[in-house]
Amino acid sequence: MEKYQTLLYYCYSPIENAEEFAAEHLAFCKSLNLVGRIIVADEGLNGTVSGTVESCKQYMASIHADERFAKTDFKIDDVEEPSFIKMHCRYKSEIVHSGLRNPDLIDPNKETGIHLEPKDFLEMKDQEDVVVLDVRSNYEHNLGRFKNAVTLDIENFRDFPAKINELAQYKDKKILTYCTGGIKCEKASALLLKEGFKEVYQLHGGIIKYGKEAEGKDFEGQCYVFDNRVAVDVNRVNPTVISTCRNCGTKTNKMINCANPECNEHFTQCDACGEQLEGCCSAACQTHPLKREYDGTGYYVKIPQPVNTKKRILTES
């Protein structure tokens, strides 16, 4: 039995005094010796936390005991070690940045796509009148995506609204949206409905839940996750590797950050090129005077920056 777990979750539910709640919630998480990253906004919670099995059990029980978050669906992974180094809980304007000038135009609690459980998504995804739509960023779907999925050239989810016009050709189709854990689909599907798409669905629990309940069939590559693991396997039926090394083109699932901190580009690179370029995306970055030492992982702990007093309340020093 594994000693640790990592929990991925979100909940769209109004929070009064959300900034104050964030500070209190950070203290609560620390009391359980959890590590992770949580975003708190007036519209709800979005988090990934990691800790001992008992700590995670207590955390989930506390969240479910709060009537505001009783419907929260936790995706649970057993891990050999905690998936973060520190605990952060920050207040932001949205738990997922929509890119809208007026975020209140959409409310996932009022209108969103029809939720499909993994087994139902599996049954529908290959039908003739269906389009499977990946609403994640480039670096995510380049690492792994559903077979034959439509992808968008976006660097962040906030770019999604500007790309909806490119999907107009699919307005008469059934749109099945998916993302890592389901949270982006709540807003993506709501936006599609507002733009006149008639039948919009979303994969409930995202890729992570699909991997657990449908064995990840036809998900090609790996799923990018926002913690120290970087990527996780999903497909236990017909797995494959689709991502390639930026430098030599060989197939690899290894994703790193450029060792040049002023570049810090997120990209896939094989071990051979990583050794040759010392974890840099190019020879130019390799000669940069601030280049970080490459230890083979391509993961770098952020150097703490000066913060104001208000910010210091919400983050671990």
Q: Which of 72, 112, 55, 24 is nearest to 313 (CA)?
A: 24
SS3 4: strand
Candidates 11, 29, 179, 281; catalytic one: 179
Residue 235 is which amino acid?
N
d(CA 97, CA 41) in angstroms, rounded, equals 11
d(CA 170, CA 160) in angstroms, rounded, equals 16
Percent helix, strand, coil in the chain (nearest 5)? 30, 25, 45
CA atoms within 13 A on the CB side of 45: 27
Torsion sign, CA atoms 113, 115, 118, 122? negative
Please confirm, yes or no, whether 179 is among the known catalytic residues. yes
Question: Among all chains, which residue has been given the structure tokens 């660097």?
Answer: 155
Task: Point out the residues that are catalytic.
Answer: 179
